[in-house]
Structure 1
Amino acid sequence: MSVSFRPKINWRTRMNTRKIATAFRVLPLAAIAMAASAAFAAPVQGPADASFYTYPAALPAANGELISYRDAQVNLGANAPAAKAWNVVYKSSDSKDAAVAIAGTVIVPTAAWTGTGPRPILSYAVGTHGLDPKCAPSKQLAAGTDYEAANIAAALKAGYAVMVTDYKGALTGTGSATKLGSTYLSGKAQGNAVLDIVRAAAQIPGANLSLNSQVAIWGFSQGGQSATWAAEQLANGYAPELKVVGVAAGGVPGNLREVAPTLDGNIGFAFLGAALNGLNNQYPGTLPIRLLASEEGLAALNKINTQCVFEALFEFQNKSLPAYTRDNIPLDELLEIGAPTLDQQNLGNVKINVPMYIYHGKADEFIPVSQGVNLKNAYCAKGTSVTFDLFPSEHIVTQFQAAATALPWLNERLAGKAPVSSCNSTKPAPVSTANPGGGNFVVTLDKWNLAGEIGLKTLAQTVFLPAGSTFSADADVTAKTLNGSLSIPDYKTTVKLIGINTSVGLRVEAAGATTGSNVVGNDGSLTITGQSPANITVTSVLGIPFGQCKTVSPVIFPLNLKGNVGTLGDGTLNFTGTTSFPQIKGCFISGILTALMSGNGQTFKLNVAPPAPIRY
């Protein structure tokens, strides 16, 4: 006897939805906007205290209707542009088309939009933040602790109004159980939430946002899944009035059954546990893990419900799902039981009618690179325009490396520029370079580009490092250590000696490993404290070799950085500081060189950036 947990599909409802969507497509956009506005009741200005996030007693009928709003403060870092923000609660629908209330934040730059048409809108779908309401992006943006703040700030600088949904589960209160609890990785619900916040934002009094605006969608990891589901929902006729011009989605878990074995017994186990909780909330009874779980397993699932992402990630690193069941049930059996629910989250189902930018990390340890490649191929086969980029790094680092590419790609779509398609690429499928699972959480930097400058205090001049300089390291997040090395080719530079431009040959070589500590906190904070020793040799002056004019001891470059993982917002690590140059000895002009180059107070800037992505 077999039991199917696949929900029944009401084909009449689906047909009616298609007819309505078709009718919308033939109406002028202004008429659609007016019709939508007329259907929405006036929103309520919400309270300033925590009761704003209490689940409303009744929901309106229309998806995207703004229920309540209030002025908000967001902390996006020192480099963020001035902006006005609102918290919102709006109506959406979950994966079963049931009415739900969703919270979120809307941020609009205060600088006037100088482009063509109304200000563009970016619906920014965040990655995993954690299942507890305290982890919601609206609350972390207010506290200045959201690890994706740098990406949001970059979008604001580009002129976008940015919408950030909290997804379902951020609202609390005394409502029924069906109204509460995160639906983490329930794709359709997340996609709807990403679209409906755009509709809701247009109803905020004084925000000056328009449904006539061009809309872009961007997300990574859970956010990549959400952004892609939003694209599929658009193709299915949801929110037809939105003028979406492009979707950027990275690190997308396109097939959860294929992703699960990579997470199980690995550093990403917490994501698997969170998925079981979220999908069980959306599809109760279809994933009977709570019936099969041991007492320890139930305790683990309950705890993950109360943790934010990094806290859960570190506590449950390398745990195994079968070990949390009563009889150590094999993972493949558990996945087979939950297959109908898991398979409903699969992506690549329909032709997306707007250009897509899909990107992935070659060393992704959570979501195998094959997921990105397979998703690209599935959409290409259906006629979707897909641009696909492969980045060199693992999951978390790729999220921030790719920001410098994803946002310009979206900007080009706003400008009406045709994208470069990857659908006819003849490159072979990439082979994963992820570190082996089951051990420490290690982020590898493999020959990252090293740029830098050294300020020579006495000469009041700056010497730049040559092209081809690289930095490699293993940042062990579990052991909190950093071990690496730098490689700098011999080069020549020009400095003024006694007022005369003089060619000087330099050799900067590692005098040992770059070592230090690398600490990622439970709140996503990032602190690097280390040092890189290097011997500096003047190999020639005016093209004339003078022997080994070398510092008598290594120059120590302190490497200190404090921020959060979003510090990688432009894909780089930036270190600045001062150091001391020892005496130079070993040649007959060493006294002159010492007088000109040695001493305290030498400044430096080192910029470590990943290799460029490969377009597939």
Structure 2
Amino acid sequence: MTRTRALAASIATLVATAIVVVAAPTANAVVVEPPRPAFYEAPATLPAANGTVIRTEPMTFLLDPLNASSLVTNAKRVLYKTTNRTGKAIAVSGVVLVPKTAWIGLGSRPVIGFAAGTQGMGDRCAPSRQYSAGLEYEGIAIQGLLNRGYAVAVTDYEGLGTAGIHTYMDRVSQGRAVLDVIRAAQRITGTGLSVTSPVGIQGYSQGGGAAASAAELAATYAPELRVKGVAVGAVPADLAKVATTLDGSLYSAFAFFALRGISASYGVDLTPYLNAKGVETMTTVEQDCVFDLFGHAFVKSSTLSYNGRPMSDLIALPQFATMIAEQRIGNIKPAMPVFVSHSTFDDVIPYAVGKAMAKSWCSRGANVRFSPTLIPTHVGGYVPFGVEAALFFEARFAGLSQWSNCWAI
């Protein structure tokens, strides 16, 4: 009897082991996130008002062990309340930076809502963590704004730094996160900022999409903000067209980020549409940062799909087409002047996509100045964008009107 029971137990163990081995993971399976600093954990109950500050802490910098930067900048990490695309109250993290030098411009010190470009999907990629570690590639641009005397508020976006999946390229979630980090900045005591502070919004690439979305949403979602202007560059306004350009390129990871992030936002299980390699890729990218993009470089989406067809075929399916179409930017008129920059030789976001968005805004009566640049590549286009954005904000905060060039687009 004892031998029989032992044999039965062994068989049961082998069967259970076999089930574990052959059970296929799903692309929607929750990936266990590495432990994050306690600051980023949301409380059980969130505040009612969007932009409410949950907590702050002084920002420390790896490259500034003596904290000398605190003599010139009031730097705080912030956790605040926002609402995602589905209407769910969530906590999002970010950074608020305010120069300690007196503001010498007209009126009160402006605050720039800075929408960061692609950081990745993992919590370790959050701008607030990268900036503190001296690894934030847009740190120079942020410092340039601080040098002009502006306060800067940077959002980490939904699920980037905090719990959950980063809803990369989710138009509404990103736009709201940008607007609410500005609200949070105005509510932090001791910064000199207030609800009457003039506001500017800036972003490039993913940040361009987030900033452009914020421009569209501001009038209805945050009408109290005194937004004087929005500067956007290389906006991925039409994801269907961007996906075709990215497929099999150096920047293939960006397309995988978007597919993973948006499908998570909409609760769509990708597993039936992927092969084993595809499922593994969608799981891997959830913990990747932008610096890991070379691990997916030149990977064609057709090698990841269940039927060998490219991603463009997948997102054309009815269940995906609607959610991709809902990310389209250009359908809502911004209520403030907008500056749009795009390289004619952009190798990531097609120039035609940015131009079409600007034309669509113009057709709705928006005040748009569109500035094409001949400096090649997506990365190259960032430089002239930053220069022109600085001039754009100086004029807006000085109370000057923008002359639209819609007639020339």
TM-score (norm 1): 0.58
Q: Which amino acid aligns with 1:60?
A: P
1:500 alignment counterpart: none
- CA distance, structure 2, for counterparts of residue 339 and residue 418 of structure 1: 39
- CA distance, structure 1, for counterparts of residue 353 and residue 222 of structure 2: 27
Alignment of 1:409-428 (within 5 A): 409-425=392-408
Alignment of 1:559-598 (within 5 A): none
How far off is 1:330 after superposition?
3.9
Contact map agreement 1:76 1:150 (CA 8 A) in 2: no
1:97 alignment counterpart: 87
2:206 corresponds, among 219, 222, 225, to: 222
Q: Which stretch shifts more, 127-136 or 196-205?
A: 196-205
| Pair 1:400 & 2:383 matched | yes
Cα distance change on mapping 1:75 and 1:83 into 2, 3 Å = farther
Q: Secondary structure in 2 aligned to 1:388?
A: strand
Deviations 1:233-274 (A, max 9, x none): 113x11111000000000001111111110111122100000
| Pair 1:199 & 2:183 matched | yes
Cα distance change on mapping 1:404 and 1:423 into 2, 3 Å = same
Contact map agreement 1:53 1:170 (CA 8 A) in 2: no
How far off is 1:404 after superposition?
1.2
Contact map agreement 2:229 2:336 (CA 8 A) in 1: yes
Contact map agreement 2:106 2:397 (CA 8 A) in 1: no
1:387 alignment counterpart: 369
2:23 alignment counterpart: none
Deviations 1:285-329 (A, max 9, x none): 2xx433211111111111111111021x21111111121012213
Q: Secondary structure in 1 aligned to 2:267?
A: coil
2:22 alignment counterpart: none
Cα distance change on mapping 1:54 and 1:386 into 2, 3 Å = same
1:73 corresponds, among 48, 55, 60, to: 60
- CA distance, structure 1, for counterparts of residue 63 and residue 87 of structure 2: 34
Cα distance change on mapping 1:95 and 1:137 into 2, 3 Å = same
Cα distance change on mapping 1:156 and 1:417 into 2, 3 Å = same
Cα distance change on mapping 1:408 and 1:266 into 2, 3 Å = same
CA-atom RMSD, angstroms?
1.9
Higher relative contact order (CA 8 A, sep 6+): 2
Cα distance change on mapping 1:415 and 1:272 into 2, 3 Å = same
1:164 alignment counterpart: 154
2:316 alignment counterpart: 336
Q: Which amino acid aligns with 1:356?
A: V
2:117 alignment counterpart: 127
Deviations 1:497-552 (A, max 9, x none): xxxxxxxxxxxxxxxxxxxxxxxxxxxxxxxxxxxxxxxxxxxxxxxxxxxxxxxx
2:49 corresponds, among 62, 70, 78, to: 62
Q: Which amino acid aligns with 1:289?
A: L
Cα distance change on mapping 1:257 and 1:357 into 2, 3 Å = same
- CA distance, structure 1, for counterparts of residue 131 and residue 58 of structure 2: 13
How far off is 1:364 after superposition?
0.7
1:428 alignment counterpart: none
Q: Secondary structure in 1 aligned to 2:54?
A: strand
How far off is 1:205 after superposition?
2.3
- CA distance, structure 2, for counterparts of residue 96 and residue 217 of structure 1: 24
2:251 alignment counterpart: 268
1:308 alignment counterpart: 289
- CA distance, structure 2, for counterparts of residue 382 and residue 170 of structure 1: 33
- CA distance, structure 1, for counterparts of residue 237 and residue 70 of structure 2: 32
- CA distance, structure 1, for counterparts of residue 395 and residue 233 of structure 2: 18
Contact map agreement 2:272 2:306 (CA 8 A) in 1: no
Cα distance change on mapping 1:333 and 1:348 into 2, 3 Å = same
1:113 corresponds, among 97, 103, 114, to: 103
2:231 alignment counterpart: 248
Q: Secondary structure in 1 aligned to 2:342?
A: strand
Q: Secondary structure in 1 aligned to 2:187?
A: coil
Alignment of 1:9-88 (within 5 A): 50-74=37-61, 82-88=72-78
Q: Secondary structure in 2 aligned to 1:232?
A: helix
- CA distance, structure 2, for counterparts of residue 396 and residue 291 of structure 1: 35
Kindly report structure 1 stretches of 4+ aligned residues shifted beyond 3 Å. 74-81
Contact map agreement 2:124 2:161 (CA 8 A) in 1: no
Q: Secondary structure in 2 aligned to 1:241?
A: coil
Contact map agreement 1:81 1:156 (CA 8 A) in 2: no
How far off is 1:200 after superposition?
1.1
- CA distance, structure 1, for counterparts of residue 344 and residue 189 of structure 2: 45
Stretches of structure 2 lacking an aligned partner (at least 5 in a row): 1-35
1:377 alignment counterpart: 359
Q: Which amino acid aligns with 1:306?
A: Q
Contact map agreement 1:81 1:109 (CA 8 A) in 2: no
Q: Secondary structure in 1 aligned to 2:380?
A: helix
How far off is 1:74 after superposition?
4.4
2:174 corresponds, among 178, 186, 190, to: 190
- CA distance, structure 2, for counterparts of residue 171 and residue 421 of structure 1: 38
Q: Secondary structure in 2 aligned to 1:397?
A: coil
Q: Which amino acid aligns with 2:287?
A: T
2:193 alignment counterpart: 209
1:232 alignment counterpart: 216
2:306 corresponds, among 313, 323, 326, to: 326
Deviations 1:81-140 (A, max 9, x none): 921101110000111221111000000001111222221110000000010000100001
Contact map agreement 1:109 1:156 (CA 8 A) in 2: yes
Deviations 1:29-83 (A, max 9, x none): xxxxxxxxxxxxxxxxxxxx92101132221111111111111124799999921
1:3 alignment counterpart: none
Deviations 1:366-389 (A, max 9, x none): 110001110111011111011111
| Pair 1:346 & 2:339 matched | no
Stretches of structure 1 lacking an aligned partner (at least 5 in a row): 1-48, 174-179, 426-615
Contact map agreement 2:300 2:310 (CA 8 A) in 1: no
Cα distance change on mapping 1:186 and 1:167 into 2, 3 Å = same
Q: Which amino acid aligns with 2:115?
A: A
Cα distance change on mapping 1:126 and 1:75 into 2, 3 Å = farther
> Higher strand share goes to which structure?
1
Contact map agreement 2:343 2:373 (CA 8 A) in 1: yes
| Pair 1:298 & 2:298 matched | no
- CA distance, structure 1, for counterparts of residue 124 and residue 173 of structure 2: 20
- CA distance, structure 2, for counterparts of residue 75 and residue 420 of structure 1: 43
Q: Secondary structure in 2 aligned to 1:198?
A: helix
Count of matched residue pairs? 368
Q: Which has the larger radius of gyration?
A: 1
